[in-house]
Amino acid sequence: MDSATYAIEADVEATHWWFTERRWLFGRLIAGFALARDARILDIGTSTGTNLRLLRELGFTRGEGLDASAEAVRWCAEKGYGKVTQGDVCALPFDDASFDLVLATDIIEHVDDDGAALREIRRVLKPGGRVLMIDIAGNDHPLLDTYLQAAEVLRDASHVRDYRADEWLAMFRGAGFDAQVQSRWRLPIDFETWVERIRTPADSVAGIRALWAHAPDEVRGYYAVQPDGSFEHDALLIDAR
């Protein structure tokens, strides 16, 4: 993400429904784990700190973050969200068995070697520790899946792939986790803010609009595409240990 995108996200992460709804969902789950207040918790792909804000609100004293971007580290420091290390999820700068819980929201989809990322997460988790991952889910139907992946990569050139639920689970199992899909939901996407949030170039915005406009009815129906380009897609939460 570029500097301007971080600035926009830093501005809206406290109040925008995208972040507040997810913090609500996460908060309920994490509270159910009955972790000690001094449990060590790592948020990977911290960006401007939405999950660190949540951990603080839940009363945890040892939440920390990791992000590849120096901008992200700077924003979190400016907001007083605690320690955020600059680094790569595929080579985590932490000792084995360091964390009780690892959070990874909307980050693994951006990583080329997702298997390496999950193995690293496994390595730094304490025995019995847990991972909560939220990401977009691909579609089991090839046609529907093709349109989703095309829209995603037009919107964000760093997008790699939205995996299907079975692909996610296989990936987690391959990294040594016992994983399950904890929940799935339809995520309504407001087109204007979706592209504005990440500063999608104008020609790519036009490309997504054209993609939706010329898509078969089956595709437009499934994704509930609206005249302004807004749509719905699938998100999932994986709970692994």
The contact set with ligand SAM (CB under 6 A) reads 1, 45, 47, 50, 66-69, 72, 88-90, 105-107, 110-111
Question: Closest distance between ligand SAM and the C-beta of residue 221, in Å?
Answer: 28
Residue with token string 């996460």:
26
CB 90 within 8 A of CB 113: yes
CA 37 distance to own-chain centroid: 24
Interior/surface letters 127-163, b for 16+ CB within 10 angstroms, e for the rest: eebbbbbbbbbbbeeeebbebbbebbbbbbeebbbbb
Nearest distance in Å: CB 229, ligand SAM:
20
CA angle 46, 188, 151 (to 5 degrees): 80
CB atoms closer than 10 angstroms to residue 218: 12
CB of 180 to ligand SAM, least distance (A): 20
* Minimum CB–partner distance for residue 93 and ligand SAM (Å): 11
CB of 189 to ligand SAM, least distance (A): 14
Residue 114: name the closest of 168, 76, 63, 74 by CA.
Answer: 168
The CB-of-72 to ligand SAM minimum distance in angstroms stands at 5
Tokens of 81: 């969200």
- Which residues, other chains included, contact 123 with Cβ-Cβ below 8 Å and sequence gap of 6+? 92, 96
